[in-house]
Amino acid sequence: MNRIQPAWLRLPWQQAWAHAASRGMAAMTDASMAQLTAAASARIQTAIAPEVCKTLTAQGYAVVDNLFDPKHAELLRQEIVQLYQGSRMHKNHTHLVRDNTTRLLEKGSIHEAELTLNSNNAQQAAPLCARLNADTTLRTMLSLLTPGLTLDMQAIKLQYNAGEGGCFPIHADTDASLDGRRVTSIFYLNPGWQPSHGGQLKLYPWPLPPVEIAPLHNRLVLFTSHTQLHRVTPSFAPDGRCCFTIWLSQSRGRRVVRAAPASPLSSLQPATSPEQDPGAAVKFLMTPSVRLHAAKLALSGEWEESLRQSHKPGPELHAMLAQHRAEVALIGRALGKYSGVMQRLQQEPQLAQSAAASISWL
């Protein structure tokens, strides 16, 4: 038998939710939304424990389940769905830069809203999500518990994937030389998700095998923005796939300034051949400026398939695939003498584990 909790026994955030549920989101006052956000902030503070930060540092990602109160998570999802239904979102595009020209390749079924830019008055339409973006608890806890990390900026994007196979190709969110993004935090809001719905987040912590993470309701996934390759598999969720991403950044003034530009590839390579010193070859392949290129070579087939799945056929996709193949061929020539070591990394789990232990994810 279900029991209804008397109003006088409810906590303030529970009263706020009951008020919103009975009269709609428009009935929520600033005070009630502040109560919900304060409760979420407290839960984030508890959830981002030392073990989570240690895992993020050691393997480049971490997962936290049941982050929000379930009813708060329901309201957050409701805001995203209403943005989509109200045509306040825009289609996601891949930017293809070639010969000083940028082409936009639309991703089918994926709709987004940039709350930080407040396009289409999205902040007013999604006030609870906007308040979460204004709350600094997540970045404060990660900075406090992660040595060498000082996150001082954040930006949020809401996303609705309408299904029909909508997905993302393999990519890293940024390059360390482009901006200060260090941690990507994705909050999933998908009640009733089933494996047949697809839309899994797939991480590629090469040389380790890929890791597939289900977009379960009320789940938070953290991963490093500039070092963790990832993709989203095709989604067929009948009620849509909802999430929002908060990118956590470290401003340039707080980052370590390199004394000199990145060294050329030739100066990083060991003096000995891979056959003479496989350990030195593995160390070279795990160098930050080399590892992502080596991963693209090792994952070239799956990478190309992810590009095909994510974009409609046409001349833009053809150009993207040609560019991908040209890059893979160039990497293959540059790293050709390490092909034997790379094959061993694929075939020998113990060697791959040892190599991955040396990666500086953050």
Mean pLDDT, the chain, integer: 89
Least confident of 17-21, 116-120, 162-166, 276-280: 17-21
- Is 167 a residue whose pLDDT tops 70? yes
pLDDT tens for each residue of 3-21: 344 444 445 545 555 555 4
Whole-number pLDDT of residue 25: 55
> How many whole angstroms separate alpha carbon 225 and alpha carbon 249?
9
pLDDT at 1: 37
The answer, yes or no, to whether residue 256 has pLDDT greater than 60, is: no
How far apart (Å, rounded) are the C-alpha atoms in residues 116 and 98?
29
Q: What span, in angstroms and rounded, lies between the C-alpha atoms of 128 and 130?
A: 5
Residue identified by tokens 């500086």 is 360
DSSP 23-66: H-GGG--HHHHHHHHHHHHHHHHHHS-HHHHHHHHHHSEEEEES
The C-alpha atoms of residue 34 and residue 36 are separated, in whole angstroms, by 5
d(CA 360, CA 290): 12
Question: Residue 253 — pLDDT band, cuts 50, 70, 90?
Answer: low
* Amino acid at position 165, single letter: G
* Positions of CATH 2.60.120.620 in the chain: 44-249
**Top-level CATH class of 44-249?**
mainly beta
Instruction: State pTM to two decimals.
Output: 0.89
